[in-house]
């Protein structure tokens, strides 16, 4: 089975022409009765060897963590040597499995290992360097966290420049979001904030919207979704979705506990439908998946409220499962109904529907 990435590499290497690759895509599109963009290709595993390499890479990085722990036996302190060894091992393995073999799943794991190792190394170094009571100096803590996030984003940028793994941009965006939030909270004065969630939740929501906007810029640059830019946008959408969904449902009161009110439950459904319309328009399913847990909780409450106590979980699963399967089976025609009423200028910035593709 050949993936979209295989077609790109074949064209780049000269094995086939760009016209032949497009003809193959059009043939596959016709057999599926849907535009290729609607499939939202996501390369993760090509063969079992990907899993085999991933397991081996994880074991090796765990070994590096254990070796590094021997240099800092104090378990109350993050071991910076462990982070350094993990990052070095992940980079070294990426030189072969990412740069030469182009294995998707190992590349993702090695990227996370590298950035996570850098983050652990920096945090451990900060704790060892500033031997002080951090609780008494929140400004210092905020400044250090912002600095660590900025350095972590820099490490992600270096990894992107070398290996260009699509998820790297999302990891760097997450680090930059953490840096920005830390700076703002530090400037506001964390010691004077009675309820940090009153500041943190809105900041997360704004950061999610910003990342969503960046994801849309990557999407717009590849509406046919045939290049690496589409893969980068996929991961950015996957990062932005929970950052947008969680604050919305938090403000509706869904995250406060089991005592969900009727208005909050109905509000969840309204918000989820609105998010579904946006997901259909931009042809990305991440928003629907990220908000799924909140909708399950809301529907369970509604069925319980209206007397279906014994079957509330089953009925919830039936409704949500049926709705998602219907969307999956009829995604293209439903999406066409959502996109067609939009202004022409907006449609030009969205992936084509089946009618547009024809």
Residue-by-residue DSSP string for 248-302: HHHHTTGGG-S---HHHHHHHHHHHHHHHHHHHHHT--HHHHHTHHHHHHHHHHH
20 in a domain, yes or no?
yes
321 in a domain, yes or no?
yes
Specify the pLDDT at position 300.
77
Segments in the chain forming alpha helices (H): 4-13, 18-32, 48-69, 80-97, 104-129, 138-163, 167-188, 197-220, 228-251, 262-282, 286-290, 292-305, 312-329, 331-339, 344-347, 354-357
100 in a domain, yes or no?
no
CB 114 within 8 A of CB 94: yes
* CA distance linking residue 206 with residue 154, whole number of Å: 22
6 in a domain, yes or no?
yes
Specify the pLDDT at position 351.
86
What domain range is 6 assigned to? 1-32
2 in a domain, yes or no?
yes
210 in a domain, yes or no?
no
**Mean pLDDT in each 10-residue stretch from start to end of the chain (358 residues)?**
65 73 66 54 78 96 90 66 94 96 93 96 84 68 90 97 96 97 84 68 95 95 86 93 90 70 81 91 87 81 66 79 88 90 89 59
Q: How many domains does the chain have?
A: 2
329 in a domain, yes or no?
yes
CB 73 within 8 A of CB 100: no
CB under 8 Å to 157, separation ≥6 — which residues? Answer: 172
* CA distance linking residue 210 with residue 18, whole number of Å: 34
Q: What is the largest CA-CA distance in the chain?
A: 66
350 in a domain, yes or no?
yes
Tokens of 159: 């990894």
Tokens of 109: 């794991």
């Amino acid at each position: 089975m050949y993936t979209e990435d295989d077609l790109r590499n074949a064209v780049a290497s000269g094995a086939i022409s760009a016209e032949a690759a497009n003809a193959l895509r059009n043939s596959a599109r016709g057999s599926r009765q849907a535009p290729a963009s609607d499939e939202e290709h996501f390369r993760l595993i090509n063969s079992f060897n990907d899993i085999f390499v991933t397991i081996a890479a994880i074991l090796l990085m765990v070994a590096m963590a254990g070796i590094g722990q021997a240099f800092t036996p104090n378990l109350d302190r993050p071991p910076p040597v462990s982070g350094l060894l993990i990052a070095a091992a992940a980079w070294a393995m990426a030189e072969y499995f990412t740069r030469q073999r182009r294995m998707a799943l190992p590349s993702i794991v090695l990227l996370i290992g590298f950035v996570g190792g850098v983050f652990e190394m920096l945090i451990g170094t900060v704790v060892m360097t500033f031997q002080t009571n951090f609780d008494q100096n929140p400004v210092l803590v905020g400044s250090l966290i912002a600095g660590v996030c900025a350095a972590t984003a820099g490490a992600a940028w270096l990894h992107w420049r070398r290996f260009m793994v699509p998820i790297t941009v999302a990891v760097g965006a997450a680090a930059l979001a953490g840096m920005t939030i830390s700076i703002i909270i530090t400037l506001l004065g964390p010691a004077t904030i009675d309820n940090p969630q009153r500041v943190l939740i809105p900041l997360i929501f704004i950061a999610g919207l910003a990342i969503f906007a960046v994801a849309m810029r990557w999407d717009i640059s590849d509406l046919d979704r045939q290049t690496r830019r589409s893969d980068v946008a996929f991961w950015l959408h996957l990062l932005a979705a929970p950052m947008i969904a969680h604050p919305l449902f938090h403000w509706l009161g869904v995250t406060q506990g089991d005592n969900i009110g009727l208005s909050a439950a109905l509000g969840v459904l309204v918000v989820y439908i609105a998010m579904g319309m946006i997901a259909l328009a931009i042809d990305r399913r991440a928003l629907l998946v990220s908000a799924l847990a909140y909708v399950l909780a809301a529907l369970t409450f509604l069925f319980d409220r209206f007397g279906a106590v014994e079957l509330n979980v089953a009925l919830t699963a039936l409704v949500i499962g049926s709705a998602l399967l219907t969307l999956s089976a009829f995604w293209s025609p439903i999406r066409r109904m959502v996109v067609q009423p939009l202004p022409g200028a907006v449609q030009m910035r969205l992936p084509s529907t089946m009618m547009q593709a024809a």
